[in-house]
Structure 1
Amino acid sequence: MIDVPLSVLDLAPVARDVSATEALRATTELARRTEELGYRRFWVAEHHNMPSIASSAPSVLIAHLAAATSTIRVGSGGVMLPNHAPLVVAEQFGTLEALHPGRIDLGIGRAPGTDQRTALALRRTTAGLSAENFPQELGDLIGYFEGDDERIVAVPGRGNEPAIWLLGSSGFSAQLAGLLGLPFSFAHHFSSANTVPALELYRANFRPSRWLSEPYAKVAVNAICADTDERARYLSGPASLAFLKLRKGTPEPLVTPEEAAAYPYTDQERAFAEDRFTDQAVGSPETVRRQLTDLLARTGANELMLTTMVYDIAERTRSFELIAEKVAAGLV
């Protein structure tokens, strides 16, 4: 039984010698299994030009995942709005909501989520690519769902509004989410130092709205659970190395844990890689319960979203099973 709502953020990770077909099949099976385990949501993230991630087209993948499941909420964590025309997003997610009423979440981010050259290739214009345009474009998107402009009607879209969330890793989106009265999801999994300050800004600026009467904050956290602390740390190696390679400008698919352990890190690189899982949740069920309980106490989060980047889908699934079966009931 899961008391504190737990959800899943998946990137359809692509391992070395694994095809995109296999990666997406694994994500589909994980969505089905986490639904059985009682997780509340299954979100996929938009990333581009990254060999280790196959979730580059969230709306397409969400349609498939929603059709492959029946009760779990499915959504984007998130759609990076600077990459897309708001009307297109409204039509895509209006279609998803019309097909799967009451099960679709539209998580929106204000950063491109990729390099500027790739972002420009996505939208083929510099208009709207600046994060400063985000509030206006977000307003346009919401307006299409509400039918504000009778000259341009999103069909589907108007009358088929999914649950809208703002995502963030700093204070800007936190304040905006509060001012608009939207639920807010913070990216603790890659910006842990900003988590508490951003949530304080969100709550301080919150105004009741048609969506919420009081703040609702979700925190995304790296979570790798195994039978022992040592095994969990070993399984975290490929994700740490992939993050290092990404920051060095040489992204590549996930390698095996054995390859990650054998990688010749410099002292500086090792410190950077190990910092990836600082203040996250990696270890045995007992360790992960303590880490998640501490995170809940510090943040006051209403919900936790777990993201698990490991090489093998069986190990990825097992992590979610252990957390549902041995961790969740002890979270308060």
Structure 2
Amino acid sequence: MGWSVIDVPLSVLDLAPVATGGTAGEALRHTTELARRTEQLGYRRFWVAEHHNMPAIASAAPAVLMAHLAAATSTIRIGSGGVMLPNHPPLVVAEQFGTLQALHPDRIDLGIGRAPGTDQATALALRRTMAGLNAEAFPQELATLIGYFRGDSGPITATPGAGQMPAIWLLGSSGFSAQLAGTLGLPFSFAHHFSPANTLAALALYRQHFRPSQWLDRPYAMVAVNVVCADTDEQAEWLSGPAGLSFLRLRAGRPEPLASPAEAAAYPYTEHEREFVRQRRDGQAIGSPDTVARALTELRGRTGADELMLTTLVYDIADRVRSFELVMEAVGRTGVGAAPHRDADNDDQ
């Protein structure tokens, strides 16, 4: 039976995974290859993450990687998924993303997160403070950042930055950023790929608190979801094994480069570990094209998402590329058009 995701743009979140036996350079070259191919396939945007002190992920400096990806592509939107504001002074973010916007007008997304996204020792190394941004500090630093882009930040002018505002998104895995995004009238991206239990509640908060703004007339919500698509359900299950083992090792405080499917299958899981991996699979779309298309259609139906962002963590770049090819073939290109209102890509800011 064929399935299709109707009128929903599809986008990509990539972690630049470092495979066992590979290097960070190889991982970044693979991310560049994937960006070019997903642009050809018709995906709307390509975002890269910010992770630190993680041997399995080469995406640690999103602004630097985005500059390379934007130069290697021509039409797909390039963004951060995201910049963790506790790790960076707002002025630095404004200058970095103002530079990107000046170099690549109307193609840059700035996705902003509130959590430091790392351990305390690494957070200290990044910003010389053990504390993240609390509920009061984060909105103020976000306002300061937006002020730099607007050019109304007082005696300090971000150059580039002022007059070079990218499309700003708030990212979240709970209700705080959802409510703030709604209050500010910003587009919101929810991390369903690692917090599926909170998805519906957070999206409800976002829509409940939404106020029209210079950015949006009505809410615009994107949902990020783990996807592994292969020719058969069995093959997709095999390819998904390394991701589960990677999260298991991360939780145990010993992150390692991404294992091969054979290494993941041979790992001696305890019953407790198997249950952890099973729980991590909640809300994921893993299987053949029909299986994945059905899962994405059901996810869109439950969430009312305006856009779906797919993230695929597999060992081999050929399998990663093939997964995105199969998904686009399965759901068609109906979702790649513009949204029916002033949408999240509006740059008249």
Please state which band the TM-score falls in when normalised by the shorter chain: over 0.9
Give the drift of 1:283: 0.3
How many residue pairs align between the two structures? Answer: 332
Cα pair 1:46 1:55 within 8 Å, conserved = yes
Deviation for aligned residue 1:24: 0.3
Preserved CA contact (<8 Å) 1:94 1:158: yes
Match of 2:174 among 162, 170, 175: 170
Q: Aligned residue for 2:218?
A: 214
Whole-angstrom CA distance in 2 between matches of 1:125 and 1:174: 26
Distance in 2 of aligned mates of 1:218 and 1:129: 24
Given that residues 167 and 184 in structure 1 are in contact (C-alpha distance below 8 angstroms), is that contact kept between their aligned partners in structure 2? yes
Residues 9 and 335 of structure 2 are in contact (CA less than 8 Å); yes or no, is this contact kept in structure 1?
A: no
Q: Tell me which amino acid in the other structure corresponds to 2:10.
A: L
Contact 1:111 1:131 in 2 (8 A): no
1:265 aligns with 2:266: no
How much is the aligned-residue C-alpha RMSD, in angstroms? Answer: 1.5
Gaps of 5+ in 2: 337-349
Distance 1:127 1:137 in 2: 14
* Secondary structure, counterpart of 1:15 in structure 2: coil
Within a 5 Å distance, the mapping from 1:20-39 to structure 2 comes to 20-39=24-43
**TM-score of the two chains, using structure 1 as the length reference:** 0.97
Q: Is the Cα–Cα contact under 8 Å of residues 123 and 129 in structure 2 kept in the other structure?
A: no
**Cα deviation 1:85-109 (Å, max 9, x = unaligned):** 0000000000000000000000000
Kindly provide the CA deviation profile for residues 102-122 of structure 1, in whole angstroms up to 9, marking residues without a partner as x. Answer: 000000000001011101100
- CA deviations 1:256-302 (Å, max 9, x no partner) are 00000010000010010122121211000010011001000000000
Q: Any idea what the Cα deviations from partners look like across 1:184-243, whole Å, max 9, x if unmatched?
A: 000000000100000000000000000000000000000000011111011010000000
Q: Between the two proteins, what is the percent identity of the paired residues? A: 75
1:328 deviates by 3.7
TM-score by length of 2: 0.93
Correspondence for 2:286:
282
What residue in structure 2 maps to residue 157 of structure 1? 161
Q: Specify the SS of the correspondent of 2:145.
A: helix
Distance in 2, matches of 1:111 and 1:127, equals 10
- The SS at the match of 1:304 is strand
- Quote the residue 1:54 is aligned against: 58
Corresponding position: 1:183 with 2:187: yes
1:299 pairs with 2:307: no
Q: Distance in 1 between matches of 2:283 and 2:265?
A: 21
Q: Is the 8 A contact 1:10 1:308 kept in 2?
A: yes
Q: Is the 8 A contact 2:239 2:261 kept in 1?
A: yes
- Partners of 2:335 and 2:58 in 1: CA distance: 32
Aligned to 2:13: 9
Give the whole-Å Cα distance in 1 for the aligned partners of 2:298 and 2:333. Answer: 15
Instruction: Tell me by how many angstroms 1:133 deviates.
Output: 1.5
Q: 1:248 corresponds to which residue?
A: 252
SS of the residue corresponding to residue 77 of structure 1 reads strand
Gaps of 5+ in 1: none
Distance 1:330 1:209, change over 3 A: closer
